[in-house]
Amino acid sequence: MFPKPQPVLAPNTYAYESEPMVKPTGFREYDARWLFGTEINLMGIQALGMGLGVLIAELGQRQEIVTGHDFRSYSASIKYALISGLLASGCKVHDIGLCMTPMAYFAQFELDVPCVAMVTASHNDNGWTGVKMGANRPLTFGPDEMSRLKEIVLNAKFKNKPGGSYQFHENFPARYIADLTKGHRLKRRLKVVVACGNGTAGAFAPQVMQAIGCEVVPLDTELDYTFPKYNPNPEDMEMLHAIRDAVLQHRADVGFGFDGDGDRCGVVDNTGEEIFADKVGVMLARDMSAITPNAQFVVDVKSTGLFATDPVLQQQGAKTAYWKTGHSYMKRRTHELGALAGFEKSGHFFFNAPLGRGYDDGLISAIAICEMLDRAPDKSMADLKNALPKTWSSPTMSPHCPDEAKYGIVERVVKHFEDMQNDGEKVAGQKIRDLVTVNGVRVTVQDGSWGLVRASSNKPELVVVVESPVSEERMRDMFEAMDSVLRGHPEVGEYNQKI
């Protein structure tokens, strides 16, 4: 028997050391995230491992799983608590140690293991922990699996049994790096800034970029789990501005920024200007569709409208489908459609063959960008960016909103804009041309300007993005229109950043 998890326990008490604590809201749409110590304890993590073992068996997979952990002061402890739960449930555990998330995905293929449980808080601030899980490579869990896992864990529906075993795979990163760099050698000598925010990718990214022929300028690549400079998140302007300064100082061809667990890549061009990941996706789609006839791409609803309107993509016969934001949703849709690649505005890119195996890997993204530059030897990164039709785009902006309230608020915001469309009312001075409600609401008006509001899948936040093909002023008009609706909900707090 194992105690039923409690939603709240007070630290520094007997109960906290004797019972599992698991806050229910930590089970997100496609992975799990908690504040360690206040929302989950080590026994709670152990319960998660036991529950995951049950779910794997229910899904009809053999109980064999890869696990690894990111570089946080507490991640190893959490991983071993998770492993103890997996072992109790009868799983054979393959531990690859300290690693990036895509290294764990790679290990599923390299070791022929069906399941994965990667201990990572990704780009979240220190204090957060979580687990990215899957039982059908290269896919990760979606809402159905996460809902069932939540039910198993919170109700202590464990089925522990003997037969679990543990194997540590020594020096596994070398196998990952060899696979990643095989067959990739640039003709063009590129100087690249490699920025890691002192996160996990710092142990691996510089040597990967050197191995394909780049001259590497390392920036905050020393591992330091206090993150002394800034959080390793290539969507945050603080990290992008640090990359900009390094690119200009060293006259680099491009700057790459990797998030805390290495599955995302941010980009700064040779002039020091950040290129939001959706625009990078358009550039890559142009490059890839030029050499692959009838290329199919998938992009998330936060992404630029250029995927649908770019004349070069149209001329090259490329087709693009918009889909739900979230690495699991995008990974699954890219897989289902057999798309050449999927691009998410957050920087999660999903490459199928020949470049990848369908999962998100920030280093594969960086290699793809370098090879795009290699195929355009007379063009700079800024040249390729400036060749795109001009639009004015915001970064991803996230106002605080409690997990318990955010989905209900988004439902009411969707209803608000649906009513406006039905009544012929104007948004930012123009009638609504189109509403996409596959994930929150994306409101497009007559001149092509659009705004998005959705609930964050992994933090107590909403997500707001706006873009205009007309002017910066129209982009700001759309932001005011979206924000004015949110301001009608007192639960919506301050933004992490604004235009």
pLDDT value at position 191?
A: 98
Exposed, middle or buried: residue 447 (CB in 10 Å: 0-12, 13-18, 19+)? middle
Residues near 336 by Cβ (< 8 Å), separated by ≥ 6?
none
d(CA 160, CA 1): 9
pLDDT value at position 457?
A: 84
The kind and range of the H/E element at 244 are helix 237-250
Q: Other C-beta atoms within 10 Å of 101: how many?
A: 30
Which three-class secondary structure state does DSSP give residue 465? strand
Alpha carbon 97 to chain centroid distance? 21
pLDDT value at position 237?
A: 87
Start-to-end CA distance of the chain, whole Å, equals: 53
pLDDT value at position 245?
A: 98
d(CA 221, CA 199): 7
pLDDT value at position 157?
A: 98
Identify whether the C-beta of residue 413 lies closer than 8 Å to the C-beta of residue 486. Answer: yes
Instruction: Give catalytic residues, as residue numbers.
Output: 122
Distances (CA, A) of 325 to 123, 303, 366, 442, 456: 16, 9, 21, 12, 9
> What are the structure tokens assigned to 197, written together?
């925010």
pLDDT value at position 144?
A: 96
d(CA 232, CA 199): 6
pLDDT value at position 458?
A: 77
pLDDT value at position 410?
A: 98
d(CA 18, CA 36): 16
d(CA 374, CA 379): 9
Identify whether the C-beta of residue 260 lies closer than 8 Å to the C-beta of residue 70. Answer: yes
Whole-model pTM: value is 0.91
pLDDT value at position 221?
A: 98
pLDDT value at position 236?
A: 86
Per-residue pLDDT of the chain (499 residues), as tens digits, is: 899 999 999 999 999 999 999 999 999 989 999 999 999 999 999 999 999 999 999 999 999 999 999 999 999 999 999 999 999 999 999 999 999 999 999 999 999 999 999 999 998 889 999 999 999 999 999 999 999 999 999 999 999 999 999 999 999 999 999 999 999 999 999 999 999 999 999 999 999 999 999 999 999 999 999 999 999 999 888 999 999 999 999 999 999 999 999 999 999 999 999 998 999 999 999 999 999 999 999 999 999 999 999 999 999 999 999 999 988 999 999 999 999 999 999 899 999 999 999 999 999 999 999 999 999 999 999 999 999 999 999 988 999 999 999 999 999 999 999 999 999 999 999 999 999 999 999 999 999 999 999 999 878 999 999 999 999 999 999 999 999 999 999 999 999 999 9
Q: Amino acid identity, residue 55?
A: L
